[in-house]
């Protein structure tokens, strides 16, 4: 065993940028995960974990032996909940706090992990890419399986004296039948850990991540001495450029799973309840680098936004290979074509192989706030045979997507197909439909074949000059200065400093409810500064379960694309001081008069 003692680096560590000392639980910083991951398409959280995460397992506690100091407590318990045999807790800062570079330091302690407990403090990229292409930074993990400790060079090591770290990213070289995600793990069969001479449990230990635009290294301060986890810092390359983007924080205490030697409930031998206490998380400048963004601070795009264009004048635009990527979803159906661009030097040109579905699109690497374009238009040029049916769509970071069909041999949205370039102009309110969160957009343009209408003959197609237009703040008169233009203000002469909704009317004093904004849209609201979910169905369709958007101490969600006579059934789940509550189901019908 080689001990890598770190030479003091305080000269490289700069000012404190951000911290949470957990004197109280700050809902403006942390989200609490609930469930087993199935609602996110990753049952068992992708690792066959055995616990059900619950808000009751997350709290703030006094730190024993340190009068006046408090910390975050995550507790794992043996209890039946959600079809699982254990409960535990997990918090994360997604859409609330993001970090890019710097020295991240956390002080924490955990009870005996034995077999089955898996405490971790880690980070995921804010990128719109899927895992592992968004990147993962594991600052600390304990509870590793015997085989993992052996592969790292520590056979027969005491599990409570062992801690490790890791980096995961996408690599073509890592792709194989046993690793279909192509996840490259820096810790794979290498020394990525620290083995203490004294158990690391039931005492506070300090972990640090030193992160710049070129290197990453992990350390642990054990009884006053700082040790490196890896023999050498990790060098960030073009292949691992996931680590040149912002990340958000996660902290959890998992029970069992592939990482541990407890694949089934009866194999968990760790004493329960297990406890993980985090004293603080701090971010400092390091080597002159470090940035922390608090809040969902993505500024809304305005004016004209270029999705894929060379020459069209725009206020801002995506650039493929820099802040966006072109994806082809079925490599067997599309290959590169050679149609001449409509404008500039770049074009998306494909040749289609018959009798199979096709699809692809442009995806931004970071979420984009397109909320100012709700009344705008998507404009794109396309060259495609008139007898080919296709659909275009967009998607947000909450996994919502919406599609509009262009039937074969029909003109829609002004698109006339005569064998030459033609333009379609699509209203954003129709493109977004009732579900798309324009404030957090992932894909600004996608195209695909229509189910049941697969082309039977080869053809060539091209797409160019894709732009969003009509985004911007209204400059219309606003006599009562409530932020709502007079021409659409349904409640004129509102008293000063009154909080109003989108109609310029004072926000309803009730705790929760629904309001109709127009014959096409409604607004769900919960007057609470804690998290809230809305569950709703439109005309008896599939139930949608959506985390509402926090805005000025109130949760809200606007649904567009409705019609007069549509019936909405809905209920809420939201956090109150004494725990989460579910409201009774209620019904609402879109009326031609309610909003007038």
Evaluate whether 186 touches 234 at the Cβ level (below 8 Å): yes
pTM of the model: 0.71
Structure tokens at 238: 């073009």
pLDDT in tens, 553-579: 788 899 999 988 899 999 999 988 778
pLDDT in tens, 84-129: 999 999 999 998 999 999 999 999 999 999 999 999 999 999 999 8
The arrangement of secondary structure in 17-294, i.e. its CATH architecture, is Sandwich (2.60)
Give the pLDDT confidence score for residue 11 in this predicted structure.
47
**CB 583: neighbour CB atoms within 10 A?**
16
Give the pLDDT confidence score for residue 170 in this predicted structure.
94
pLDDT in tens, 497-556: 444 555 666 555 568 888 888 888 888 988 888 899 999 999 988 989 999 988 767 888
Evaluate whether 68 touches 5 at the Cβ level (below 8 Å): no
For the domain covering 507-589, report its CATH number. Answer: 2.60.40.10
Convert 14-51 to b/e letters by CB count within 10 Å (16 or more is b): beebbebebeebeeebbbbbbbbbeeeeeebbeeebbb
Q: Does residue 10 surpass a pLDDT of 50? A: no
Domain assignments of the chain as residue spans, ordered by start:
17-294, 303-471, 507-589
Convert 537-589 into a string of H (helix), E (strand) and C (coil).
Answer: EECCCCCEEEECEEECCEEEEEECCCCCCCEEEEEEEEEECCEEEECCCEEEE
* 70/93 Cα distance (integer angstroms): 20
* 84/5 Cα distance (integer angstroms): 42
Beta-sheet strands, E only, within 339-471: 348-352, 359-368, 377-383, 390-396, 401-406, 422-427, 441-449, 459-471
Separation in Å, CA 447 to CA 245, 343, 351, 421, 427:
28, 20, 14, 16, 16
State the fold for domain 303-471: Jelly Rolls (2.60.120)
Structure tokens at 245: 């983007």
pLDDT in tens, 346-405: 999 999 999 999 999 999 999 999 999 999 999 999 999 999 999 999 999 888 999 999
Give the pLDDT confidence score for residue 474 in this predicted structure.
47
pLDDT grade, residue 50 (50/70/90)? Answer: very high
pLDDT in tens, 444-492: 999 999 999 999 999 999 999 999 999 975 445 666 665 566 766 766 6
DSSP 351-381: EEPSSS--EEEEEEEEEE--GGGTT-EEEEE
In CATH terms, are 303-471 and 507-589 the same topology? no
Using CB atoms within 10 A of its CB, is residue 333 exposed (0-12), middle (13-18) or buried (19+)? buried
φ, ψ (nearest 5 deg) of residue 265: -55, -45
Task: Name 1's Cβ contacts closer than 8 Å, sequence gap at least 6.
Answer: 153, 154, 195
Q: How far is CA 156 from the centre of its chain?
A: 38
Mean pLDDT of the residues in the chain:
90
pLDDT grade, residue 313 (50/70/90)? Answer: confident
Q: Report which of 503, 477, 126, 467 is spatially closest to residue 301, judged by C-alpha positions.
A: 467
């Amino acid at each position: 065993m080689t001990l890598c003692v770190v030479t003091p680096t305080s000269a490289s560590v700069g000012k404190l940028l951000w911290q949470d000392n957990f004197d109280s639980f700050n809902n403006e910083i942390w989200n609490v995960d609930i469930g087993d991951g199935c609602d996110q398409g990753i049952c068992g959280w992708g690792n066959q974990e055995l616990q059900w995460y619950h808000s009751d397992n997350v709290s703030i506690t006094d730190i024993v032996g340190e009068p006046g100091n408090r910390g975050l407590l995550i507790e794992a318990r043996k209890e039946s909940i959600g079809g699982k045999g254990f409960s535990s807790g997990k918090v994360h800062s997604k859409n609330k706090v993001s970090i890019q570079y710097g020295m991240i330091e956390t002080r924490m302690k955990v009870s005996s992990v034995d077999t089955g407990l898996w405490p971790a403090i880690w980070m995921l990229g804010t990128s719109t890419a899927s895992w592992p292409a968004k990147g993962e930074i594991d600052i600390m993990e304990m509870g590793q399986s015997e085989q993992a400790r052996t592969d790292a060079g520590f056979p027969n090591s005491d599990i409570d004296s062992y801690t490790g770290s890791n980096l995961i990213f996408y690599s073509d070289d890592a792709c194989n039948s046993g690793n279909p995600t192509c996840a490259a793990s820096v810790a794979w069969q290498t020394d990525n850990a620290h083995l203490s001479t004294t158990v690391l449990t039931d005492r506070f230990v300090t972990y640090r991540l030193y992160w710049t635009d070129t290197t990453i290294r992990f350390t642990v301060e054990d009884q006053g001495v700082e040790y490196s986890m890896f023999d050498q810092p990790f060098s960030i390359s073009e292949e691992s450029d996931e680590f040149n983007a912002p990340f958000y924080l996660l902290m959890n205490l998992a029970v069992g799973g592939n990482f541990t030697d407890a694949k089934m409930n009866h194999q968990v031998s760790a004493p329960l309840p297990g406890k993980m206490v985090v004293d603080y998380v701090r971010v400092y400048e390091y080597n002159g680098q470090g940035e922390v963004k608090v809040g969902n601070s993505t500024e809304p795009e305005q004016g004209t936004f270029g999705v894929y264009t060379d020459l069209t004048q725009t206020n801002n635009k995506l650039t493929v290979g820099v802040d966006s990527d072109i994806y082809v979803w079925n490599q067997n159906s599309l290959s590169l074509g050679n149609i001449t661009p409509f404008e500039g030097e770049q074009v998306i040109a494909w040749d289609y192989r018959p009798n199979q579905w096709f699809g692809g699109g442009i995806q931004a690497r970071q979420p984009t706030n397109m909320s100012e374009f709700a009344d705008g238009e998507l404009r794109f040029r396309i060259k495609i045979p008139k007898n080919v049916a296709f659909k275009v769509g967009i998607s947000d970071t909450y996994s919502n997507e919406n599609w509009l069909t262009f039937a074969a041999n029909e003109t829609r949205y002004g698109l006339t197909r005569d064998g030459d370039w033609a333009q379609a102009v699509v209203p954003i309110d129709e493109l977004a439909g009732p579900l798309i969160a324009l404030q957090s957009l992932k894909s600004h343009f996608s195209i695909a074949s229509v189910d049941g209408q697969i082309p039977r003959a080869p053809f060539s197609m091209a797409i160019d000059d894709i732009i969003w237009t009509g985004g911007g703040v209204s400059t219309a008169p606003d006599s009562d200065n409530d932020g709502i233009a007079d021409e659409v203000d349904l409640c004129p002469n509102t008293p000063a400093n009154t909080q109003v909704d989108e109609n310029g009317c004072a926000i309803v004093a009730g705790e929760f409810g629904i309001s109709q904004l127009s014959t096409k849209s409604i607004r769900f609201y919960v007057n609470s500064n804690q998290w809230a979910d809305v569950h709703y169905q439109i005309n008896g369709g599939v139930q949608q379960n959506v985390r509402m958007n926090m805005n000025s101490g109130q949760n809200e969600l606007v649904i567009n694309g409705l019609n007069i006579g549509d019936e909405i059934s809905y209920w809420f789940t939201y956090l109150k001081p004494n725990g989460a509550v579910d409201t009774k189901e209620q019904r609402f019908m879109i009326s031609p008069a309610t909003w007038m």
